[in-house]
Amino acid sequence: MAAVAPRTAARLRGIGPRRHFSQRAGGGAGLRVAEESRASSFCPPARSCNDWIGPPDRHSNLRPIIFHIPKNESPLEQRLREFRQETQVWNQQFWASQNVSFRKGKEEFIYSRLKMKGLEMKDETGQKATLNAEEMADFYKDFLSKNFKKHMCYNREWYKRNFTITFLMGQVAFARAWRKLAWKKTKVEN
Partner 1 sequence: MSAARRCGPRWALPGLFVWHPHKQAVWQMPCKLVHCCGVVNKRWITFQHLKFLKRLNVTRYNKNLSQQAKPKPDSVAPPFLEKKHLDQEKTVICEIRSVSPLHTPLSETSNGNEFKAVNSTAVVDDLATAVGAESKEEKQWKEMKLQLDDLPGILARLSKIKLTALVVSTASAGFAMAPVPFDLTCFLLTSVGTGLASCAANAINQFFEVPFDSNMNRTKNRPLVRGQISPLLAVSFATSCAVPGITLLTLGVNPLTGALGAFNIFLYTCCYTPMKRMSIANTWVGAVVGAIPPVMGWTAATCSLDAGALLLGGILYSWQFPHFNALSWGLREDYSRGGYCMMSVTHPTMCRRVALRHCLALIGLSTMAPVLNVTTWHFPLISLPINLYISYLGFRFYRDADRSSSRKLFFCSLWHLPLLLFLMLMCKKSLLEKGDKIELLS
In the complex, the smallest distance separating the C-beta of residue 88 from partner 1, rounded to whole angstroms, is 10
Q: How far is CA 52 from the centre of its chain?
A: 13
- Residue 170 interacts with partner 1 (CB under 8 A): yes or no: yes
- Pattern 106-145, binding to partner 1, x per CB under 8 A? --------------------------xxx-xx-xxx-xxx
Whether 164 and 82 have beta carbons less than 8 Å apart is answered as no
Distance from the Cα of residue 87 to its chain's centroid: 8
Whole-number Cα distances in Å, 125 to 76, 109, 110: 61, 22, 18
Strands (E), 13-149: 52-53, 65-66
> Dihedral of the CA atoms 147, 151, 152, 154 (nearest 10)?
140
Interacting residue with partner 1 among 125, 148, 187, 189 (CB under 8 A): 148
Residues 48-107 that bind partner 1 (CB under 8 A): 48, 50-56, 60-63, 65-66, 91, 95, 98-99, 102
CB 183 → partner 1: shortest distance, Å?
Answer: 22
Which SS3 state, helix, strand or coil, does residue 61 take? Answer: coil
Judged by beta carbon, residue 141 or residue 185, the one nearer partner 1 is 141
According to the binding rule CB under 8 A, does residue 47 interact with partner 1? yes
Radius of gyration over every alpha carbon of the chain, rounded to an integer in angstroms: 23
Residues that bind partner 1 (CB under 8 A): 1-2, 4-5, 8, 11-12, 40-48, 50-56, 60-63, 65-66, 91, 95, 98-99, 102, 132-134, 136-137, 139-141, 143-145, 147-148, 150-152, 154-155, 158-159, 162, 165-166, 169-170, 173
